[in-house]
Amino acid sequence: MPSGTHLVAAIDDDRRVRLSIQSVLESAGYEAEVFDSAEAFLDSGVLPRASCVIADVRLPGLDGLQLQRRIRELRPQVPMVVITAHDDDGVRQRALRDGATAFLAKPFDAARLLERIEQAVGGIRDREHDDE
């Protein structure tokens, strides 16, 4: 369970997946914002407040890996969990090499997703305490 409220943004073009992730996050005590495209997320102004970003690999417009690179340019400290229904070793390796905290194949277990997010957010808390 998160301590304090952390905002987690989720980007997936499948409405059912977005709503499912939002429900899982909110039931675990996270603030959740969901988007149907990378562009909608980037235009929303949520990135500066996000503690973690979850993004599908296959998105209309900017894909999840392009979004990952963009986030690294804008806020490199924000952890990212990459999700996909098309598990591909090359894509997995590229996402992890480029700094993804986790790479999960759909359908994934909600507990596993929460575990990965808590690890990512915990890393943010650790860095915040290091700055004190």
Three-state secondary structure along 51-109? EEEEEECCCCCCCHHHHHHHHHHHCCCCCEEEEECCCCHHHHHHHHHCCCCEEEECCCC
Q: What is the pTM of this model?
A: 0.88
CA atoms within 13 A on the CB side of 48: 3
Per-residue model confidence (pLDDT) at position 125: 47
> Does some domain include residue 131?
no
pLDDT score of 53: 97
What are residue 60's DSSP bridge partners?
Answer: none
The domain that holds 82 is classified in CATH as 3.40.50.2300
Say if CB 57 and CB 95 are below 8 A apart. yes
* Best CA proximity match to 53, nearest among 87, 99, 1, 110: 99
How many domains, in total, are found in the chain?
1
Give per-10-residue mean pLDDT for the chain (132 aa).
76 96 96 98 97 96 95 94 88 90 91 93 52 38
Contact assessment for residue 80 and residue 50, using Cβ atoms and an 8 Å cutoff: no
98 lies in a domain?
yes
What is the domain range of residue 107?
7-126
The pLDDT of residue 129 is: 36
The answer to whether position 1 is within a domain reads no
Cα–Cα dist 101/98, whole Å: 9
Q: Give the residues across from 35 on adjacent strands.
A: 11
Instruction: Evaluate whether residue 44 is within a structural domain.
Output: yes
Q: Let me know if residue 79 belongs to a domain.
A: yes
- Strand-pairing partners, residue 82, are 55, 103
